[in-house]
Amino acid sequence: MSHETALPDKPLIEIASSAGWCFGVERIVDLAEKLLASEPLPIYCLGELIHNPQEVKRFEARGMVFVKSVNELPALKSGETRKILIRAHGVVPQVKQILEKRGWEIIDGTCPLVTIPHQFAKKIAEDGYRLVIMGHEEHPEIQGILGEVQGLKVRVDVIPGPEAIEQLKLKASDRVGLISQTTHPYEKFAQLIGEVLKRCLEVRAYNTICQATFDRQDAIRELAQKSDVVIVIGGFKSSNTARLAEIAEAYTESHHIEDVSELKGEWLQGKKWIGISAGASTPHRCIEEVKERIAQLTAGTGAQVSAHVSG
Ligand code: SF4
């Protein structure tokens, strides 16, 4: 790894700007806290609150119950109403209808930025274009988009990126509309748009990647280019954390961990510049723990901490 600026004699630990909780995660955690403080326990939440196992356990211990589907919820007595939290990824409209029919009052924590791809997907489909979504089909956010366009008579494809372009079997006469999962890398989306343009006469693309994702991806790219190793902290099920790890790996040695206990001293040996970043569901507490542990593991070499996590 080459460095543009002169390195200090001692190893340096740098935390990427914008690492950690995004606006959507802060919002859902705040809603969960308010429900815990004001409603009878347990508080039900559809799906895990955020993709961070430590935080999920912390909320479970305080009286939250996470259910995978509406069928796991208790039946309410006639006339009884209880609140249920919907997490930042959102749910398909059909699920909301079922909940309301069964007497649940929905506290909707869907991130407003997650609903933007929903609106564009509907517009693309209503205008009669083929809809191509870049993302992972099983991800709740994509399931939400598919639910929005269910019943509209257009072809819909979900592909992970430009490498899967041939799956679309595009024809020159196709009119294609593209959107992306909010947490996918924008370079891949730009490449996909380019590949579709090469094959079809009419292409419409909407940039549905959220600003928090842009900021985190830009920051880790910059950090990885000057670091000898980058530690990425976040849930293994977190899509945006996986993307950060992928980007770091393209430039330098990188390790994705869920928490401080997985950190290995051997990764830090001989490293002069150690980068840390974290996914949008990772609390600042976890970032601080990793930073402190790295400082301990490199204590003999007098590591310095060069940056603070931005709010
Ligand atoms: S990553 Fe973006 S879309 Fe997802 S919850 Fe955070 S702000 Fe919202």
Same domain, 219 and 154: no
Strand partners, 159: 134
222 falls within a domain = yes
Cα 237 to middle of ligand 1, angstroms = 15
CB 84 within 8 A of CB 45: yes
Cα 235 to middle of ligand 1, angstroms = 15
Enclosing domain of residue 190: 115-205
Q: Is the CB of 50 under 6 A from ligand 1?
A: no
- Distance (Å, whole) CA 119 – CA 117: 5
The 8 Å CB, 24+ separation contacts for 91-98 are: 91/46, 91/47, 91/140, 91/143, 91/144, 91/147, 92/143, 92/144, 92/146, 92/147, 92/148, 92/150, 93/147, 93/148, 94/147, 94/150, 95/46, 95/70, 95/147, 98/70
Half-sphere exposure of 78 (CA within 13 A, CB side): 0
5 falls within a domain = no
The reported pLDDT for the residue numbered 301 is: 58
pTM: 0.85
**Domain boundary residue among 176, 205, 234?**
205
Q: Between 239 and 251, whose confidence is greater?
A: 251
The reported pLDDT for the residue numbered 18 is: 87
Q: What mean pLDDT, rounded, does the chain reach?
A: 92
7 falls within a domain = no
Same domain, 129 and 161: yes
Residue-wise pLDDT for 122-168, tens only, equals: 999 999 999 999 999 999 899 999 999 999 999 999 999 999 999 99
**Domain boundary residue among 57, 73, 108?**
108
What is the number of domains present in the chain?
3
- Distance (Å, whole) CA 114 – CA 28: 13
The answer to whether residue 141 is catalytic is yes
The pLDDT of 246-258, averaged and rounded, is 97
Q: Is the CB of 268 under 6 A from ligand 1?
A: no
**Domain boundary residue among 186, 205, 224?**
205
We report the CATH number of the domain holding residue 195 as 3.40.1010.20
We report the CATH number of the domain holding residue 92 as 3.40.50.11270
Same domain, 101 and 185: no
